């Protein structure tokens, strides 16, 4: 086997060939602090990723690690989710979402109708996922040692009710985030059971993380679209895509500009996954006024106003600052 440094050089040469003219010339400060100036842009120097894994993330915007989270942990997360659905515990701040096809029907929804819980940062059992050392070791490779858990979800994709509302339109997660820099944000998404095309696995557009943030809107889907499920406008269904079929415990890390979605669940089971979006403790908030993110800011503020009876004094930034939790290192500017 060749020495890692030699293999890394091969990767850097490869990246140079493929990105000539795309990246700005590095400043001398960047040359000093990174060693591989601006070439390995999406990953940081670390002892965990192989050069091949680094190159894969650099080029594709995601990295799939098989069998990362133990069956025991996942079974505990599932039990806790069931306790929440049965309303045996109440978690402050938790958002429980039902599929729009069920929410809008006469049918009185029982616990099986929960399609997603979000913001479980106050549930110690579910939040354990966000602090798992094996997850954080990977997260550190992308965003560095100061790690904030910004957004948490357990997705329980329901059997499609016949209107294709169980789909998640193609989107970039950055659309929802008023913080930067973009390359110091990463999502960890773990399959809680076999996830395949039948039950609606993640679908990604490899390399789309190298683009910019696109305009997002509700897709024009006949059967309806779930609240806040914006999709990239002018999505081209012909674009090459990859279906990420995963087994229980497999975990994918992906960049917030990676265009992704998930297909409909054509099985009778509820497809489960748990995820957390992390940002570096030295990220900073931006004002989204005048940007494509204005529409999601408006919607979030309306929901917060309705739920908490507050007005304009609660900002988009506030809603993120309140939810963010430090899981490693220092909270510097978040």
Ligand X SMILES: O=C(O)CCC(=O)C(=O)O
Ligand Y SMILES: CC(C)CC(=O)SCCNC(=O)CCNC(=O)[C@H](O)C(C)(C)COP(=O)(O)OP(=O)(O)OC[C@H]1O[C@@H](n2cnc3c(N)ncnc32)[C@H](O)[C@@H]1OP(=O)(O)O
In the complex, the residues that contact ligand Y under the rule CB under 6 A are 95, 97-98, 100, 103-104, 118, 151, 173, 176, 226-229, 277, 303
Q: Which residue, 262 or 328, has its beta carbon nearer to ligand X?
A: 262
Q: Is 159 in the site for ligand ATP (CB under 6 A)?
A: no
One of 264, 283, 327, 334 touching ligand ATP (CB under 6 A): 264
The token pair at 79 is 């039990």
Q: Is 121 in the site for ligand ATP (CB under 6 A)?
A: no
Site for Fe ion in 144-173 (CB under 5 A): 173
Do 158 and 110 touch, CB atoms closer than 8 A?
Answer: no
Q: How many Cα neighbours within 13 Å face the side chain of 299?
A: 15
- From the list 265, 296, 59, the residue with the least C-alpha distance to 173 is 296
Rounded least distance, CB 267 to ligand ATP, Å: 12
- From the list 104, 67, 273, the residue with the least C-alpha distance to 187 is 273
Torsion over CA of 116, 117, 118 and 123, rounded to 10 degrees? -160
One of 26, 219, 224, 329 touching ligand ATP (CB under 6 A): 219
SS3 label, residue 168: strand
Tokens 């415990």: give the residue. Answer: 249
DSSP sequence for 34-89 = HSSTTTS-SS---SSS-HHHHHHHHHHSEEEETT-S-HHHHHHHHHHHHHHHTTSS
Q: Is 158 in the site for ligand ATP (CB under 6 A)?
A: no
Of the listed pieces 65-73, 165-173, 270-278, 300-308, which binds ligand ATP according to CB under 6 A? 165-173
Rounded least distance, CB 166 to ligand ATP, Å: 9
The token pair at 264 is 């409909």
Binding residues for ligand X, rule: CB under 6 A, are 153, 155, 157, 168, 173, 202, 260, 262, 273
Rounded least distance, CB 162 to ligand Y, Å: 16
DSSP one-letter code for 97: E
Q: Which residue, 115 or 280, has its beta carbon nearer to ligand X?
A: 115
Which does residue 103 bind out of ligand ATP, ligand Y, ligand X, none, counting CB within 5 to 8 angstroms by kind?
A: ligand Y
Of the listed pieces 80-88, 164-172, 277-285, 306-314, which binds ligand ATP according to CB under 6 A? 164-172
Site for ligand ATP in 224-243 (CB under 6 A): 231, 235, 237, 243
Q: Is 170 in the site for ligand ATP (CB under 6 A)?
A: yes
Which does residue 262 bind out of ligand ATP, ligand Y, Fe ion, none, counting CB within 5 to 8 angstroms by kind?
A: ligand ATP
- Return the residue nearest ligand ATP (CB atom): 261
Q: Is 218 in the site for ligand ATP (CB under 6 A)?
A: no
SS3 label, residue 262: strand
- Residues 6+ away with beta carbon under 8 Å from 27: none
* Burial status of residue 88 (CB atoms within 10 A of its CB: 0-12, 13-18, 19 or more): exposed
- Gap between the Cα atoms of 112 and 332, Å rounded: 40
Q: How many residues bind Fe ion (CB under 5 A)?
A: 1
Which does residue 74 bind out of ligand Y, ligand X, Fe ion, none, counting CB within 5 to 8 angstroms by kind?
A: none
Dihedral (CA of 69, 188, 122, 330) sign: positive
Residues that bind ligand ATP (CB under 6 A): 167-170, 197, 203, 219, 231, 235, 237, 243, 261-264
């Amino acid at each position: 086997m060749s020495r890692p440094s030699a293999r890394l050089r091969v990767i850097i040469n490869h990246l140079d060939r493929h990105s000539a003219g795309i990246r700005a010339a590095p400043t001398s400060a960047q040359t000093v602090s990174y060693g591989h100036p601006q070439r390995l842009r999406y990953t940081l120097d670390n002892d965990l990723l192989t050069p091949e894994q680094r190159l894969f993330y650099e080029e594709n915007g995601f990295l799939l690690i098989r069998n990362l989270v133990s069956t025991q942990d996942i079974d505990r997360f599932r039990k806790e989710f069931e306790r929440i659905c049965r309303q045996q515990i109440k978690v402050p701040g938790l958002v429980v979402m039902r599929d729009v096809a069920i929410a809008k029907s006469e049918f009185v929804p029982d616990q099986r109708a929960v399609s997603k819980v979000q913001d479980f940062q106050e549930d110690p059992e579910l939040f354990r996922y966000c602090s798992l050392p094996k997850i954080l070791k990977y997260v550190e490779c992308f965003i560095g040692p100061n790690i904030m858990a910004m957004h948490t979800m357990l997705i329980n994709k329901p059997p499609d009710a016949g209107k294709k509302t169980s789909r998640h339109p193609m989107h970039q997660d950055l659309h929802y985030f008023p913080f930067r820099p973009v390359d110091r944000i990463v999502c960890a998404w773990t399959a809680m059971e076999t996830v395949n095309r039948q039950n609606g696995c993640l679908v990604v557009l490899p390399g789309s993380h190298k683009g910019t943030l696109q305009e997002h809107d509700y897709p024009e889907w006949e059967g309806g679209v779930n609240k806040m499920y914006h999709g990239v406008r002018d999505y081209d269904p012909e674009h090459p895509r990859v279906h990420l079929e995963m087994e229980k415990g497999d975990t994918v890390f992906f960049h917030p500009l990676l265009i992704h979605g998930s297909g409909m669940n054509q099985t009778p089971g509820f497809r489960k996954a748990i995820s957390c979006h992390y940002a570096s403790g030295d990220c900073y908030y931006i004002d989204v006024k005048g940007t494509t993110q204005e529409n999601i800011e408006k919607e979030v503020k309306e929901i917060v106003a309705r739920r908490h009876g507050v007005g304009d004094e609660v900002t988009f930034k506030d809603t993120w600052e309140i939810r963010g939790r430090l899981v490693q290192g220092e909270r510097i500017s978040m």
